[in-house]
Structure 1
Amino acid sequence: MSAVAKKVAGVDVLLKIKKADGTVLILGGQTGATLNREAETMEVTDKTSGGWASSLPGIKSWSIDADGFVVLGDVALEAVEEAFNDRTPVEAEIRVGATSDLDGVTYNGTGYIVDLPLEFAQDDAVTYSLSIDGATPLVRTKGAVTESTQTA
């Protein structure tokens, strides 16, 4: 544990996409991202539970919801469009903390783009939102990022 605890500004946390050729791309125009993690529960109440319901965690899943402004020419958004159209997976990464931060955390996983609306409001900039549903386990890695540990 580090001697000084520090908070992280959300503006410094970026969603990155890794293309099939290994190129890491920061999704341009981002205004928000949410990493969702959940576990299904199994009800295991029996007669000895004192009238209280009991449950156990079961299968876990993850997803990412993100949104932002459309930036024409953004290669990451183009890669997202291609992955959605081709129904191919993308590797996603979210890093919390600077790459040199020993207390920083990186979340990596592969998933599918399952929602990709574009909004064209008359009185606002063009925006996108996207949802990635995890297809592999979500890997949480704590520590500084080095060349050998940086995957996306």
Structure 2
Amino acid sequence: MPKITGMKVKLYVMQAATGKVLAGQKNATLNRSADSIDATSKDTEGFWKESMQGFKEWSIDADGAFVADDAAYGVLEDAYLNSENVDVYLEFPSGAKYEGNCAITDFSLDAPFDDLVTYKLSLQGNGALAVTAGE
């Protein structure tokens, strides 16, 4: 099974039905979790708890170097300022995509005296995360 590096995974922001890659992006983390529902009952064997998966949620955390004229960053900026959700996807070299609608919950800029201006971004999934297989 081929291994890939994270530098080949890109975060895209949708604008007018077209995905725009987020320029300067360095890191991205896709977080997925589910609630645990206790399904233990009187007929559970051996005094072992039983669990089942409940509601799921997802989010994306990303950071990178700020690029002033980046179209994708502009879409995020407008959406954040107007309290709107955005459609995004993470794309892998194989073409596999993780995509969905998100609320922007953190959007920070860091401007150190002697280094690049950078951003941090947290996107909280709104509804289902769609997964499409690559080629």
* Partner SS state of residue 50, structure 1: helix
| Structure 1 moving runs of 4+ over 6 Å | none
Q: Does 1:26 align with 2:25?
A: no
Deviation digits for residues 50-88 of structure 1 (CA, Å, limit 9, x no counterpart)? 333322110011110000011111111111011111111
Code of the aligned partner of 1:109: G
Show the counterpart of 1:102: none
**Residue in structure 2 matched with residue 92 of structure 1 by the alignment:** 88
Q: Deviations over 1:85-130 (max 9, x none)?
A: 111121111111244xxxxx21111111111011122232111011
Amino acid at match of 1:43: D
Between the two proteins, what is the percent identity of the paired residues? 38
1:142 is aligned to 2:97? no
SS at match of 1:117: strand
Structure 2 counterpart of 1:23, one-letter code: T
Q: 1:53 to 1:124 in 2, by over 3 A?
A: farther
Map 1:95-110 → 2, pairs under 5 A: 95-99=91-95, 105-110=96-101
Q: Is the partner of 1:97 in helix, strand or coil?
A: coil
**Residue 141 of structure 1 aligns to which amino acid in structure 2?**
T
Over the aligned positions, Cα root-mean-square deviation in angstroms equals 1.5
Count of aligned residue pairs for this structure pair: 134
1:150 corresponds in structure 2 to none
Look up the match of 2:102: 111
Letter in 2 for 1:44: A
Q: For 1:136, what is the secondary structure of its paired residue?
A: coil
Q: Tell me the residue number matched to 2:65.
A: 69
The residue type paired with residue 71 of structure 1 is V
Quote the Cα distance in structure 1 between the aligned partners of 2:20 and 2:98. 15
In 2: Cα distance, 1:88 partner to 1:69 partner: 23
Deviation of the 1:33 alpha carbon: 0.2
Structure 2 residues not aligned, in runs of 5+: none
Decide whether the 8 Å contact of 2:94 with 2:134 is kept in 1.
Answer: no
TM-score normalised by the chain length of structure 1: 0.81
Please state how far the C-alpha of 1:11 moved relative to its aligned partner: 0.6
Separation of aligned partners in 1, 2:82 and 2:30: 24
Give the gaps of 5 or more residues in structure 1.
100-104, 145-152
CA pair 55-98 structure 1, distance change in 2 beyond 3 A: closer
TM-score, normalization by structure 2 = 0.90
